[in-house]
A and B are shown apart, each in its own frame.
Chain A
């Protein structure tokens, strides 16, 4: 073994260039595992040498990225869950950020 392992919670990586168009059926990249952590009372994304703690709304969005739901269907579902209207822009923004970080494919 050679190098000291990278820090556990590190900024995810170099920035990608321009944001790409969102996929019609967003899916969590196989590099990431979404998991509920009792001790942190939060959903986290686990990936090689890192962990991102998610807030509730990000977690609910990512939990729905199964490659089978359209973004519209996700939004409709989330509007019921959060009892809110017009959240499509926020959902798209999170997905956009997720793509930039490589969470979403």
Chain B
């Protein structure tokens, strides 16, 4: 069994933004427990000893935690490569300086669009100018900067402008992340679903810029898997390299695993991380290929894509052991085709912003 190489520390589900495509669980308002500084330090020490080297501080908005600097410093001393994954809200000059002193290696800053109108609409906040300012602050502190922009039908036509913005801000990496339909993005999928033509055009634009700007800004185009015939190699395989810890201490083989039925999700407060990784039911549920059924079981690509995404299989087919229905070989592939085709008809329903009120309304039973 390989060690967990990548630790994602979701420090909090709280967030000042209200993005319609957030992948956090829509029940976030019902999950308010957060681990203490000491508990996080303990988790980081255990993960490092197991072999984790990459550490993402995420959320929610991790800057809402006052102890972020302390956690970064501890992580850096342990030898982690530390990433701050942020909306930028809360990254003041003073905090940037403290995070630099603490040894933070890299910052990933999200943008919603190249225009103020759409950025502010999609996040339901006035944050466009602030993000520009934060981007400059990140560069002033000589951090490698990844700009991240989630793509969907509203901003796909602006891909050229988004790339221009990344170049103007001197980002070393630009992650153009086509929407993955989890959490709020799943709730709002009809509003976000692009057309095939939009995607083809955007990808051509990306290729053009890559050819022109080469290595100055490396552009990552996260595949829009609903439009593909083969699934993504989700998490590089279940329980293979990725370990997420949710704000309440729940250990997850993928950040959306909370919504999968039948998993007994372990908590770091109750069990050592090494046991969780190696022996827990949740981390072994879809590890390897013993759980697979046809067509994955007999597929010669099963060690390449690991059957795709378990959450997507459950969400769309109702059975987490099915092949990811994005795959053309899946007997449920037509359901994905239908989701794309029927999206325009579903736009009569209002778009739902990620708020605590909306979260409670969606999950009244708790």
* B3: Cβ under 8 A from any A Cβ: yes
Q: List the B side residues contacting A38 at CB < 8 Å.
A: 51
| Residue of A whose beta carbon sits closest to that of B58 | A1
Given known A31-B172, A49-B108, contact A7–B144 (CB-CB < 8 A)? no
- Sorting the interface of chain B by its residue count into under 10, 10 to 19, 20 to 34 or 35 or more gives 35 or more
A84 at the interface (CB under 8 A from B): no
Q: Is A81 an interface residue (CB 8 A)?
A: no
Contacts of B51 in A (CB 8 A): 37-40
Asked whether, in the complex, the Cβ of A102 is within 8 Å of the Cβ of B58, the reply is: no
CA distance A29 to B219 in the complex (A): 17
B220 touches A13 (CB 8 A): yes
Check A46/B144 contact, CB under 8 A, given A2-B22, A3-B177, A17-B214.
no
Could you tell me if A1 and B15 are in contact, using CB atoms closer than 8 angstroms? yes
Interface positions, chain A 89-105, Cβ under 8 Å from B, are 102
Most buried by A among B6, B15, B60: B6
Residues in chain B near residue A51, CB distance under 8 A: 5-6, 53-54, 81
Residue of A nearest to B19 (CB): A2
Identity of the chain B residue whose Cβ is nearest the Cβ of A105 in the assembled complex: B215
Interfacial residues of chain A within 1-58, with CB under 8 A of chain B in the complex: 1-10, 12-17, 30-31, 33, 35, 37-40, 44, 46-51
Q: Which B198-229 residues have a C-beta within 8 angstroms of A?
A: 210-211, 214-215, 218-220, 222
Q: How large is the interface on A (under 10, 10 to 19, 20 to 34, 35 or more residues)?
A: 20 to 34
What is the total of A-B residue contacts with beta carbons within 8 Å? 121
B41 on interface, CB distance cutoff 8 Å: no
Among listed B31-39, B91-99, B233-241, B257-265, interface-contacting one: B233-241
B148 at interface (Cβ–Cβ under 8 A)?
yes
Given contacts A3-B23, A8-B5, A37-B53, contact A14 B108 (CB under 8 A): no
B112 to chain A: closest residue by CB: A2
What chain A residues lie within 8 Å of B236 (beta carbons)?
Answer: 7-9
CB<8 Å pairs between A and B, sample of 19: A1-B58, A2-B21, A2-B23, A2-B177, A3-B150, A4-B182, A5-B58, A5-B85, A6-B222, A17-B211, A30-B144, A38-B51, A46-B105, A47-B144, A49-B54, A49-B173, A50-B54, A51-B6, A102-B215
Which residues in A have some Cβ–Cβ distance to B below 8 Å? 1-10, 12-17, 30-31, 33, 35, 37-40, 44, 46-51, 102
